[in-house]
Chain A
Amino acid sequence: MIFEKRTERIFLAIFFTIALCIPLFLEANSFFVGKVTTILILAVFVMSLDFLVGRVGLVTLGHALFYGLGGYLFVILTPEYEAVNFWVYAFYILGLNALIALVIGAVVLRTSGIYFIMITLAISQMAYYYFFDSLEFGGNDGLFIFMKPETSIFGLSFLNLDNPTHFYYLALLAVLVTLLAIKVILRSRFGRIVEASRLNPERTEALGYNIFAFRLISYVIGSTLAAYAGLLFALQYGYVNPQFMTWEMSGTALVMAILGGMGTIYGAILGTITYEGLLYLFEHMTQDWMLLMGSAIILMVLLLRKGLAGYLEKLLEK
């Protein structure tokens, strides 16, 4: 069983049951389906961050770089008025993104701790300013994606990305695949070495493992998952903007991950839903929603030692 904890199993069972059924009760074009789709996409992004921060031990404040890059690479690589194949191009984009992550990772992983936080932030800010200042990529206005890709596999098409319900399930599938992928990686020999190097780097090194290489591969994996989330987000509304890669975006994702319970992976889903839910609620209550949101965050830090997942586990585990 790759889901060790009872809480985890209960939460995921409830989550996937509800998530599978949501479109059955809601009109396809409703705002709500779109909103939940966005939350699911964000959950993929936050899970990838949780993997890096909570399990590999790489606290990055520049993760949104890859989230933004997923969308921009699509705009850059595809012709403007021609529908391309989603799977083929997702493969290209993620491959290219992995290459970029490999180069960046090789640079940033030379530092650690707070310096790692800052160097990742610096690189994402550079990319942000690059796209912000570039005329050919739409500058601060961003760019439109005019044609949504088609999704046929060997001539068979199951998904129509223009249909919000189909898109919703594509996002849900991404959540499932990301969750399973991270879980499988963590349980593998590779994952155990990665975790060992977070908990006790000296010993792992002494055992003959090249920590740098393990961290670099993990960094590439986390960044690629983030880029997939970014690609989906860009396609959902057909729109990319440099703001998607700001440090505020990375910071918000970090808040969601910590709220959910760092390193628990499923907590990232919980954290994303809670954060977005509170935001929606407060924004519809008052213009001063920031005061409520800030207070809620502060209260949760003070009251929940290990995030929401930690709290649930206290209730459900013995």
Chain B
Amino acid sequence: MSTELFFVQLINGLQYGLLLFLIASGLTLVFGVMGILNLAHGSMYMVGAYLVWYFVAVTGSFTASAILSAVIALGLGILIERVLIQRLYNRNHLDQVLLTIGMIFVFNSLQSILWGNDPYGVAVPEALSGAVPFTDNSSYPVYRIFAALICVAIAAALYFLVSRTRLGMLIRAGESNREMVEALGVNIKSLYTIVFAIGVMLAAISGIIAAPMRSIVPGMGESVLITCFVVVVVGGMGSIKGAFVGALLVGVISTFAAVLMPTMSNMIIYIFMILVLLVKPQGLFAK
């Protein structure tokens, strides 16, 4: 592999990793704060992609559609938490697993009923449709650079939210001590609702950003779910920083594996995860 190609692949890997981080961040946030293992997280990614496709088809504006879809996802998150998740806080993890598997069925079915089963694509917004020359033979699409920047911006915002704001303080406190937060006079119920809704919105935003780069098809949620779990477990469940590092590692490793040993590349991230867990049974940044 030439040095030039090496750098191209490195950037491919980082860009893929950043997108993985965005999807995984909501999953790890919800697990870290609430202890909920949301298997339907991938479905929220799917919902984001389908919503933005639908609104772009109706309105023609990507920006407006993206904002509208994200807001709807936030509302959906609040609704799901209030109607379903809230009832399970005192139950064991397995009941949560079962509930969220039920939700996967429902969302897949609703997708088929509402939007049909044709594969769809969203055009890259006009302003971002160009490409910058990269090497002699290839160029790098502007939209992908933009998507990577958005992911970095959201990562920074999330870091700021958790470490610098009052909500973040409550989140950190709620992770370690539920009673203490309640004693502070904060309604832990509302806190949980907000956190869950943010988690859903993060997944949906990933779907929105990915929509112009990927194809929008039934089952797209499940296919990212497992990769996401690998990311989160490698980083350490519940750790945002861990998810960030884990996502970049998984992104880069799977990109290079895809070129260097294509037939093995499906297995490589699992092998990587097993190795990590053997050395650090709680992931890289366990609490």
Chain A residues engaging chain B, CB cutoff 8 angstroms: 53, 59, 107, 110-112, 114-115, 118-119, 121-123, 125-126, 129-130, 132-133, 247-248, 251, 254-255, 258-259, 262, 288, 290-291, 293-298, 301-302, 305
Contacts and interface: CB of A to CB of B under 8 A. Distances in A.
Given A110-B281, A118-B233, A294-B108, 8 more contacts: A110-B277, A114-B37, A123-B274, A126-B267, A133-B266, A290-B112, A294-B105, A298-B102
A115 B95 contact: no
A51 to B, nearest CB: 14
Tell me the dominant secondary structure on chain B's binding face: helix
A121 B39 CA distance: 13
A294 to B, nearest CB: 3
The 6 closest A-B pairs by CB, nearest first: A294-B105, A297-B102, A294-B106, A291-B109, A290-B109, A298-B102
26 contacts: A112-B281, A114-B31, A115-B281, A115-B282, A121-B229, A122-B273, A123-B270, A126-B267, A126-B270, A130-B267, A255-B98, A258-B94, A258-B95, A290-B105, A290-B108, A291-B105, A293-B105, A294-B105, A294-B108, A295-B106, A296-B102, A297-B102, A297-B105, A298-B103, A301-B95, A301-B102
A302 B87 CA distance: 7
Nearest to A302: B87
A297 B113 CA distance: 19
Interface in B97-149: 97-99, 101-110, 112-113
Interface residues of B, number: 43
A122 B234 CA distance: 12
A39 B91 CA distance: 29
Given A125-B226, A288-B112, A298-B106, A251 B101 contact: yes
B151 interface: no
Nearest to B266: A129
Contacts of B39: 251
Contacts of A114: 31, 37, 93, 233, 237
A126 B106 contact: no
Contacts of A297: 98-99, 101-102, 105
Contact of B277 (A119, A254, A258, A291): A119
Interface of chain A, main secondary structure: helix
Contacts of A294: 102-109
Interface in B262-287: 263, 266-267, 270-271, 273-274, 277-278, 281-283
Contact of A118 (B267, B273, B278): B273
Contact of A295 (B102, B267, B283): B102
A130 B226 CA distance: 17
A53 B222 CA distance: 23
B186 interface: no
Contacts of B281: 110-112, 115
A274 B135 CA distance: 60
A13 B107 CA distance: 39
Interface of B: 31, 37, 39, 84, 87-88, 91, 93-95, 97-99, 101-110, 112-113, 222, 226, 229-230, 233, 237, 263, 266-267, 270-271, 273-274, 277-278, 281-283
Given A294-B102, A294-B104, A115 B37 contact: no
B113 A291 contact: yes
A119 B273 contact: yes
Given A114-B237, A122-B274, A259-B98, A288 B109 contact: yes
Contacts of B237: 114-115
A221 B162 CA distance: 45
Contact of B274 (A107, A247, A262, A298): A107
Nearest to B87: A302
Contacts of A133: 263, 266
Contacts of B113: 288, 291
Nearest to B108: A290
B278 A110 contact: yes
B105 A107 contact: no
Contacts of A255: 98, 101
Given A114-B37, A291-B110, A302-B87, A121 B226 contact: yes
A305 B93 CA distance: 12
A119 B105 contact: no
A53 B106 contact: no
Contacts of B112: 288, 290
A129 B271 CA distance: 12
A251 B281 CA distance: 23
A112 B278 CA distance: 11
A248 B108 CA distance: 14
B212 to A, nearest CB: 28
Contacts of B108: 290, 294
Nearest to B94: A258
Most buried by A among B88, B99, B109, B113: B109
Nearest to A130: B267
Nearest to B39: A251
Given A107-B278, A122-B270, A123-B270, A254 B102 contact: no
